[in-house]
């Protein structure tokens, strides 16, 4: 474990744990940096087919940004680093090649719910509570609550959470589309791992391509970049693609065969 985040890899499944239960998983700059490092490692590991993100302990997945870290910042420093760093890290998680499952082992509030929104699938334990309480302390969601979460769960749901500060139960969150499944308290990680292994047994390249296409459809990733990446992979996998590279290396005229 480093800086309140723990990574464990078991075969095709990686588990990332926010290991700061005494602070209910509240995120610090060091934790953001570690999450980014872990995301890079997972993305580059071809043996990993699915990742699971969860919290430590029975109380909280994550209650968002550690108020002690950001409340003393000057507004321009919030702009220069805190908000921008969080967006960069959350974008990195949302755009992992591999599917990401969030196991909500307790409350997911503010930035914690925004972090959960980076996952492709969310499983909530029955006692979990979800919400966006930021306006109650005179600030606003800053890490995708009004944007990514609105794309994932719908703008009307997010509008209610932001404007009222309501905390919703796991069952209500399921009905609102904030989570995909509710399980008994204490079984969130086991449920997520079972789902992860089920996904990991499927064709990994097709699964990753499908995830990228869905991301592009909802605006999570650039449609142009997605189209060009897939087209480039297709062209490079052809006999003509291999011939083109070979001819370049051999300094000869290529002989293409339309295959």
**Dihedral pair phi/psi, residue 178, rounded to 5°:** -75, -30
The predicted pLDDT at position 74 comes to: 66
Strand, helix or coil at 104?
strand
* Residue numbers of the domain that contains 84: 5-200
pLDDT in tens, 169-206: 999 999 999 999 999 999 999 999 999 999 999 999 99
Does residue 178 sit in the same domain as residue 223? Answer: no
Angle formed at CA 215 by CA 131 and CA 111, multiple of 5 degrees: 25
For residue 69, pLDDT over 70 is answered with no
Residue 68 lies in a domain: yes
Does residue 21 sit in the same domain as residue 134? Answer: yes
Contact 97, 131 (CB under 8 A): no
What average pLDDT does this structure show over 68-90?
76
pTM of the model: 0.92
The set of catalytic residues is: 114, 134
Q: List the CATH number of the domain containing 131.
A: 3.90.226.10
Residue 257 lies in a domain: no
pLDDT in tens, 105-122: 999 999 999 999 999 999
Q: How many domains does the chain have?
A: 2
- What mean pLDDT, rounded, does the chain reach? 92
For residue 246, pLDDT over 70 is answered with yes
Contact 178, 130 (CB under 8 A): yes
The predicted pLDDT at position 79 comes to: 65
């Amino acid at each position: 474990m480093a800086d309140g985040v723990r990574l464990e890899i078991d075969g095709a499944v990686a588990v990332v744990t926010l290991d700061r239960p005494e602070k209910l998983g509240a995120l610090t700059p060091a934790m953001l940096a570690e999450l980014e490092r872990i995301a890079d490692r997972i993305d580059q590991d071809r043996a990993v087919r699915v990742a699971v993100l969860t919290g430590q302990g029975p109380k909280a997945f994550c209650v968002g940004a550690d108020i002690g870290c950001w409340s003393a910042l000057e507004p321009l420093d919030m702009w220069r680093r805190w908000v921008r760093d969080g967006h960069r890290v959350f974008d990195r998680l949302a755009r992992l090649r591999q599917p990401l499952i969030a196991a909500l082992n307790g409350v997911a509030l503010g930035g914690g719910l925004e972090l959960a929104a980076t996952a492709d699938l969310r499983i909530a334990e029955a006692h979990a509570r979800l919400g966006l309480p930021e306006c109650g302390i005179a600030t606003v969601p800053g890490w995708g609550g009004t944007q990514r979460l609105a794309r994932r769960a719908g703008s009307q749901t997010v509008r209610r959470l932001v404007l009222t500060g309501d905390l919703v139960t796991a069952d209500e969150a399921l009905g609102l589309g904030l989570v995909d499944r509710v399980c008994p308290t204490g079984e969130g990680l086991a449920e997520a791992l079972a789902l992860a292994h089920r996904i990991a047994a499927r064709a990994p390249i097709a699964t990753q391509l499908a995830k990228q296409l869905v991301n592009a459809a909802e605006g999570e990733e650039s449609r142009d970049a997605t189209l060009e990446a897939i087209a480039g992979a297709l062209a490079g996998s052809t006999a003509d693609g291999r011939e083109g590279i070979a001819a370049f290396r051999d300094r000869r005229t290529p002989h293409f065969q339309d295959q």
